[in-house]
């Protein structure tokens, strides 16, 4: 009998879960039909949830991700510009400044060609898991994943607006500004006024576009709205791949530079150098075997000097420019030969320097006492 009952239960076990529920909770007094119906309902809900999670267009693009991508693109472009300008550091500054629009044009064209034109995202967009999508080729209700890339016409329009139009505006602004301030009422002044009004209108349109972007989450700039290029996610569930190593390093160096700019003016670097120099062994005076001084006490230029000057009261000879620059930079400067404080200086003739021994004995004999007093009296307070 038990075996027959077992066979009777095993018969409908092919259905699966209904018999299991009946065996697990027999006290609920549920029939096979109710259990099967409940099981089918739960299975349908599970399938719906699975399809919802696996849907390719189930994510909206975060506004913060789009704004961060724009910011990163601007920072990277600025870094490339600074490094590129470093290659022209030996060129005349005026020449480099006059060709800044052309330099920016070359960088913008290079970035555009290697990213948008090659069906690749911009550097900042790549870091934020974003790419451009042709919004005209997808339904209006499509969300922020999937869809075709930009068409060739859209790429050309993007390059025209982001590269060429930007260069033309910068170059025209330079030309109009150079003539708009003359007040001659010519065509340059008229062009300058037209450009100012056009720029005002553009800023108002950009403000309206920014408000629309904050509301709908589409089209960060007017150019993207005009050509129908919308940033969307490359992958649905991919996290934003951001490396904070560069950001941390930039913050540290920025804070250190600000700290140095604030602290360094509080210290007298010349006084610090003098304190450190006293701790080091004093070098021998610049002179020949006879003890005579044969070179400038500051720069080491050999005699005869073009414009010699004597440091008082020690009398050692320096170039006038070297000694004058040191006394103007530091009121408590010391002689580079003997280390004594320079209280005054006196210009000498080249003949005096050629025959003057090192030290006070051979120089101050040619300087009257009244002249020394006048020199000391004519110096600023810290040098008297």
What is residue 244's predicted lDDT score, i.e. its pLDDT?
72
Distance between CA atoms of 341 and 217, rounded to whole angstroms?
70
What is residue 212's predicted lDDT score, i.e. its pLDDT?
94
Cα separations (Å) of 96 from 82, 93, 108, 226, 282? 12, 5, 17, 34, 46
Tell me the domains of the chain and their CATH numbers. Answer: 63-245 (no CATH), 271-383 (3.30.40.10)
What is residue 379's predicted lDDT score, i.e. its pLDDT?
42
Cβ atoms within 10 Å of 331's Cβ, excluding its own: 16
pLDDT in tens, 150-165: 999 999 999 999 999 9
Beta strand 130-134 pairing with 308-312? unpaired
Low-confidence ranges of the chain (pLDDT < 70): 1-32, 51-59, 177-185, 237-243, 270, 274, 281-291, 350-384
Distance between CA atoms of 74 and 70, rounded to whole angstroms?
6
pLDDT in tens, 317-368: 889 888 888 888 777 788 878 878 888 888 887 655 543 444 443 343 334 4
Distance between CA atoms of 338 and 283, rounded to whole angstroms?
9
pTM of the model: 0.50
What is residue 312's predicted lDDT score, i.e. its pLDDT?
87
């008297």: which residue's tokens? 384
């Amino acid at each position: 009998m038990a075996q027959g009952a077992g066979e009777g239960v095993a018969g409908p076990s092919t259905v699966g879960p209904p018999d299991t529920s009946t065996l697990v909770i027999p006290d609920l007094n549920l029939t096979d039909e109710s259990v099967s119906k409940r099981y089918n309902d739960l299975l349908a809900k599970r399938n719906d949830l699975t399809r919802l999670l696996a849907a390719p267009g189930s994510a909206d693009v975060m506004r913060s991700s789009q704004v961060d991508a724009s910011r990163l693109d601007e920072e990277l472009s600025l870094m490339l510009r600074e490094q590129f300008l470093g290659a022209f550091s030996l060129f005349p500054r005026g020449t480099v400044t006059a060709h800044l629009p052309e330099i920016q044009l070359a960088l913008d064209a290079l970035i555009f060609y290697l990213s948008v034109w090659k069906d690749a995202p911009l550097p900042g967009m790549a870091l934020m898991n974003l790419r451009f999508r042709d919004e005209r080729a997808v339904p209006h209700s499509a969300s922020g994943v999937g869809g075709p890339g930009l068409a060739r016409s859209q790429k050309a329009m993007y390059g025209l607006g982001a590269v060429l139009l930007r260069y033309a505006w910068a170059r025209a602004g330079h030309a109009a500004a150079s003539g708009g301030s003359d007040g001659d009422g010519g065509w340059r002044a008229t062009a300058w006024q037209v450009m100012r009004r056009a720029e005002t209108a553009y800023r108002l349109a950009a403000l309206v576009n920014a408000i629309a972007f904050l509301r709908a989450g589409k089209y960060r700039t007017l150019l993207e709205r005009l050509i129908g290029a919308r940033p969307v996610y490359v992958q649905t569930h991919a996290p934003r791949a951001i490396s904070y190593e560069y950001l941390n390093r930039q913050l540290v160096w920025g804070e250190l530079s600000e700290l140095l700019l604030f602290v360094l003016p509080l210290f007298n670097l010349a006084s610090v150098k003098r304190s450190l120099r006293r701790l080091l062994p004093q070098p021998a005076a610049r002179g020949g075997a006879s003890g005579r001084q044969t070179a400038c006490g500051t720069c080491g230029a050999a005699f005869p000097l073009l414009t010699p000057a004597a440091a008082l009261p020690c009398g050692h000879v320096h170039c006038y420019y070297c000694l004058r620059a040191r006394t103007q930079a530091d009121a408590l400067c010391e002689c580079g030969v003997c280390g004594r404080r320079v209280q005054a200086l006196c210009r000498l003739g080249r003949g005096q320097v050629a025959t003057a021994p090192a030290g006070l004995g051979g120089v101050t004999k040619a300087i009257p006492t009244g002249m020394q007093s006048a020199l000391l009296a004519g110096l600023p307070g810290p040098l008297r």
